[in-house]
Structure 1
Amino acid sequence: MHVQPSFPPNASVLQDQYKDFLAPADAPAESAKDPLGATGVRKTYARNAEIFGEGEPATYIYRVMKGVVRTYRILADGRRQIAEFFLPGDVFGLQALGDHAASAEAVTDCEVLAIRRSQISDRAMRDNTTAHKLLALTLHHLRRSEEHMLVLGRKSACERLAWFLMDMAERIPAPNRIELPMSRQDIADFLGLTIETVSRTMSQLQDDKVIALPSCRQVVLRDRETLMNLAA
């Protein structure tokens, strides 16, 4: 029996359910206050700028307002492993305990809303609804991390890339054309592949008429069913 692949809902989807957790992504003020009582400050970062470093105190929880953010770790041999990409509406920095276990950088020029963790934590101690929302977001991040580990550990290069493209299609609102904000090196470091393997696999999927590549950042999904089967 064929089973359709299931992709964990991203934080952009969860924000519709928990939209009062942080200030809305289109909030115009330089600082904003969410209904839970925590005041956030907008911060802007240029492309490739560091937002926080591995081992630094986890003072803030962040929400992406504009642009894209990546979290990553540098392995002992110097290789980079990207843990996650965060798109507008996504929350990051939530899962850290005391210090950040990974670094965060801006993939593109971006703007984030930074809210002091202590404000949210204090509110959660007093309010069950806030505590429930924090738990839901934390479990969401855990589920996505588990899915990512499964992909890295058990799937082929083609299956990994198909999973990534279907995940991006779920997160970037476009019918069949994805404008990827990250480079192929970023994709390779996220999927545990070399950039040569990513490029070769992209070309193979194009030759098989599963996708089309109008440019290095644009991907047209020509055969969603095949991609979903590969990603399953």
Structure 2
Amino acid sequence: DGRRQIGDFYLAGDIFGLETGPAHRFAAEAVRDSVILVIRATVLRTSGEDMQRLGWEATRRELERAQEHVLLLGRKTACERVASFLKSLSDKSGGARVVDLPMGRQDMADYLGLTIETVSRMLSQLQSERIVSFCATRQFQVVNSESLARLADQAQ
């Protein structure tokens, strides 16, 4: 019916798809060429302590991501949501000078609970305030990391 919920964006090395029951409630869509390693829960349970610890750590990170997303959707303004999203991508890239945006504006809007027009307006606002700069449609660099962090950390 045209409605879509994006829970998160996963990057190389991230663990995703942890399901608690026998039915799959979520789907994954790759926006880039990807290699996926599938591990059955039964293998995690029977593989020894290291694999079980890996499973629990992945579960903890997944819960933390979900909690952060709930706070983002429930407490932040549109500008703060977009700033949080860009800061998160920048942090995950390890402080690279230029950060790739592997997803399009519509994907960002669906994830942030905003319209594509609002996302585009907020990106333009952040660029005009010299907080970020767009090198290309899907690449940006953080120009003023303090301002980006201040916006991203508001309402937490």
- Is the TM value for this pair above 0.5? yes
Note the aligned Cα RMSD (angstroms): 1.5
CA deviation map 1:177-229 (0-9, x unaligned): 21111111111111111111111100011111111112110111000000100
CA contact (8 A) 1:206 1:213 kept: yes
Inter-partner Cα distance in structure 2 for 1:135 and 1:102: 19
Larger Rg: 1
1:180 equivalent in alignment to 2:134: no
Inter-partner Cα distance in structure 2 for 1:82 and 1:186: 8
Q: How far apart are 1:122 and its partner, in Å?
A: 2.3
CA contact (8 A) 1:184 1:198 kept: yes
CA deviation map 1:114-164 (0-9, x unaligned): 2233222222xxx33432332121011001100001101110010001110
Q: Give the corresponding residue for 2:146.
A: 225
Which residue, out of 112, 137, 140, partners 2:61?
140
Which residue, out of 117, 142, 147, partners 2:41?
117
Aligned partner letter, 1:199: S
Q: How far apart are 1:102 and its partner, in Å?
A: 1.3
Q: How far apart are 1:174 and its partner, in Å?
A: 4.3
**Structure 1 residue ranges, 4+ long, deviating more than 4 angstroms after superposition:** none
Which residue, out of 107, 122, 138, partners 1:201?
122
CA contact (8 A) 1:188 1:194 kept: yes
Aligned partner letter, 1:161: V
CA contact (8 A) 2:83 2:152 kept: yes
Inter-partner Cα distance in structure 1 for 2:71 and 2:137: 27
1:171 equivalent in alignment to 2:92: yes
1:85 equivalent in alignment to 2:9: yes
Q: What secondary structure sits across from 1:92 in the alignment?
A: coil
Stretches of structure 2 lacking an aligned partner (at least 5 in a row): none
Stretches of structure 1 lacking an aligned partner (at least 5 in a row): 1-76
Of all paired residues, the percent bearing the same amino acid is: 44
Inter-partner Cα distance in structure 1 for 2:146 and 2:110: 26
Inter-partner Cα distance in structure 2 for 1:129 and 1:217: 38
Q: What secondary structure sits across from 2:42 in the alignment?
A: helix
Q: Aligned pair count? A: 153
Q: What secondary structure sits across from 1:107 in the alignment?
A: coil
Taking structure 2 as the reference length, the TM-score comes to 0.90
Q: What secondary structure sits across from 1:213 in the alignment?
A: strand
Compare the two structures and name the one with the higher helix fraction. 2
Taking structure 1 as the reference length, the TM-score comes to 0.62
CA contact (8 A) 1:212 1:219 kept: yes
CA contact (8 A) 1:176 1:222 kept: no
Inter-partner Cα distance in structure 2 for 1:192 and 1:100: 23
Inter-partner Cα distance in structure 2 for 1:140 and 1:182: 22
Which residue, out of 7, 13, 18, partners 1:94?
18
CA contact (8 A) 1:209 1:222 kept: yes
Which aligned pairs between 1:1-150 and structure 2 lie closer than 5 A? 78-123=2-47, 127-150=48-71
Compare the two structures and name the one with the higher strand fraction. 1
CA deviation map 1:53-88 (0-9, x unaligned): xxxxxxxxxxxxxxxxxxxxxxxx631110011111
CA contact (8 A) 1:95 1:141 kept: no
Inter-partner Cα distance in structure 2 for 1:153 and 1:109: 33
Aligned partner letter, 1:202: L
Q: What secondary structure sits across from 1:148 in the alignment?
A: helix
